[in-house]
Amino acid sequence: MRYTVLEEKWKEAAAGVLPIAAIVGVLCFTIAPMATDLALSFVIGTGLLIAGLGLFFYGSENSITPMGTEIGARLTQSRNIGLILVLSFVLGIIVTVAEPDLQVLAVNVPHIHTAVLIITVSVGVGFFLMLSMLRILLGIPLRWLLILFYAAIFAIAFCSDAGYLSVAFDSGGVTTGPMTSPFIISLGIGVAAIRSDARAEEDSFGLVALCSVGPILAVLLLSFVYTATGGEIAAADVTAYAHTVALGTDYLHAVPHYMKEVAMALSPVVFFFLLFQLTILKLPKKPFLRIVIGLFHTYLGLVLFLTGVNVGFSSLGLMLGQALAEGWTKLLIIPVVMLMGYFIVAAEPAVHVLNAQVEEISAGAVSKQAMHVSLSIAIAAAMGLSIIRILYAIPILYFLVPGYAVSLLLSFFVPRMFTAIAFDAGGVASGPMSATFMLPFAFGVCRAVGGNVLTDAFGIVALVAMMPLITVQCMGAVAKMRTVKPKEPVQPAMYGETEIIELW
């Protein structure tokens, strides 16, 4: 049974990676030829990515999610608000440090040291996870918090360094990935059980939404105090291999490096889990061992994932973007990237969970298929807009300000639940493929047209996270119209000519 579940996770990972690999293969054999050694490295990287993501999905489902649920339940039993807030802050930091999407983004940001960016983003998530718990406990409407914080974000954005803007909004998208999202959602559901009112379950949504705000604010504030440093984009380090032995040696040398990095990233999670186990949780032997084994699978999956991404996957994405943006193929780049965007969201496992959740909440007024199509169109449009922005060097605020203004305005016309789900969907849609392939692809396009990587190429994840805010809330408006039945007109009473009518 265990291996059957693991096989399912590998199938989910393959469904997310193979469509992109197939599109890349067609392009490489037709209009965008690549060097043989680079293509072979991409094939190996694709295999490692599938194997790593499958193990990671399986491991996090058996370790990170149960940990969040158990800790949330124990915190609920304590009824200690101070303890809940402090532990939420700490747990938000240590789980975000181990987020694979954040690791990929951080090594590709050239002007901020990798450790500085990861710590800054993690503190932002921890602080806003604490605020999210407080919102659940006090029943504060999510809409007003989102309006307040996004108003603050854009006020600061207009005053901050342009080189930090796109990176900040991308950070908000990648942090709520496959590691962070399951943990904070399960933690929130447990804490929401403290309240017994009708809206307690409804308020358990929106944690991902608020935790996406934290990194944006944190990185924008970092721009005022941090001195930018010179550096290289990891995806830009394209290695030429003389033969297959050199290629294999490069992968083998990378494995110990990422084993050490992942061990350092996961060690705080393991330490705090063991501490909770000895003091608060005290789980029986079987559930405890299941979480330990799940953490091992998570570790192994992260090692394979990061090795495949950084050695073979991202580099070809950069070279492919550069090749397509040169010559007559520049005319095809927007439809190609929109096609990739459609398949990226269609294969994201968390999107299917979200679609089923919306269908259940709306009592069938919004079907899973309708949600699926709306999200696919949204991400395809986000990818197309990202490339247009790079080709014509359009500032990202020209897209983000009206986009978030429309999203927040829609929150006044749709049910509260759909606003929370919509802002959660932004984090769900910006999954591993956006950071591992589409971001390096954007780097390549930017390099080909001579653009500024910091202001133009970064921001693709930000637009992916923004577009579902509009489409999901539009689906909520449709659901609201379908559930409100028009009143039947009252027919006037008919009386005969000789009928006596008493007026008192």
pLDDT for res 483: 67
CA atoms of 403 and 467, how far apart (whole Å) = 8
Of 56, 23, 9, nearest to 342 (Cα)? 23
**215: exposed, middle or buried (Cβ count in 10 Å: 0-12, 13-18, 19+):** buried
Residue 353 lies in a domain: yes
**How far, CA to CA in Å, does 183 sit from each of 34, 82, 118, 189, 333?**
40, 20, 18, 10, 37
The b/e string for 89-124 (b: 16+ C-beta within 10 A; e otherwise) is: bebbbbbbbbbbbbbbbbbbbbbbebeebbbbbbbb
- All residues at 6 or more sequence positions from 387 whose CB lies less than 8 Å from its CB, including other chains: 333, 334, 337, 442, 445
Whats the size of the chain, residue-wise?
Answer: 504
At residue 177, the 3 state secondary structure works out as coil
Q: How many helices (H) and strands (E) does the chain have?
A: 22, 0
Task: Report if residue 111 sits inside a domain.
Answer: no
- Collapsing DSSP to helix, strand or coil, 282 comes out as coil
Residue 168 counted as domain residue: no
Helices (H), 277-365: 285-308, 314-324, 333-346, 349-361
Give the separation between CA 54 and CA 56, rounded to whole angstroms: 5
Flag whether 203 is in a domain. Answer: no
Cβ contacts of 210 within 8 Å, gap of 6 or more: 128, 129, 131, 132, 135, 142, 145, 146, 149
Distance CA 435, CA 16 (A): 13
Domain assignment present for residue 402? The answer is yes
Can you give the pLDDT at residue 503?
40
Locate 30 and state its tokens.
Answer: 């037709």
The backbone torsions φ and ψ at residue 206, rounded to the nearest 5 degrees and listed phi first, read: 100, 0
262-284 per-residue burial string, b: 16 or more CB within 10 A, e: under 16: beebbebbbebbeebbeebbebe
Closest CA to 27 of 300, 421, 427, 329: 329
| Residue 501: predicted pLDDT | 43
Domain extent, residue 352, equals 325-482
Task: Say if 382 falls within a structural domain.
Answer: yes
Low-confidence ranges of the chain (pLDDT < 70): 1-3, 190-204, 230-232, 234-238, 346-354, 356-358, 360-362, 365, 431, 483-504
Instruction: Determine contact, residues 396/173, Cβ cutoff 8 Å.
Output: no
Count of structural domains, the chain: 1
- With tokens 């392009």, the residue in question is 27
* Share in percent of the chain as helix, strand, coil (round to 5): 80, 0, 20
User: Rounded distance, CA 117 to CA 340, Å?
Assistant: 28
Question: Could you report the per-residue pLDDT of 387-432, keeping only the tens digit for each?
Answer: 999 999 999 999 999 999 999 999 998 888 788 888 888 877 776 7
Under a CB-based contact definition with an 8 Å cutoff, are residues 97 and 265 in contact?
A: yes
CA distance 457 to 461: 10
Whether 251 is in a domain gets the answer no
Residue 427 CA to its chain's centroid (Å) = 3
DSSP symbols for 22-90? HHHHHHHHTTS---HHHHHHHHHHHHHHHHHHHHHHHHHHHTHHHHHHHHHHHHHHHT-HHHHHHHHHH
Give the model's pLDDT for residue 122. Answer: 95
CB 135 within 8 A of CB 210: yes
pLDDT value, residue 171? 94
Q: Say if 98 falls within a structural domain.
A: no
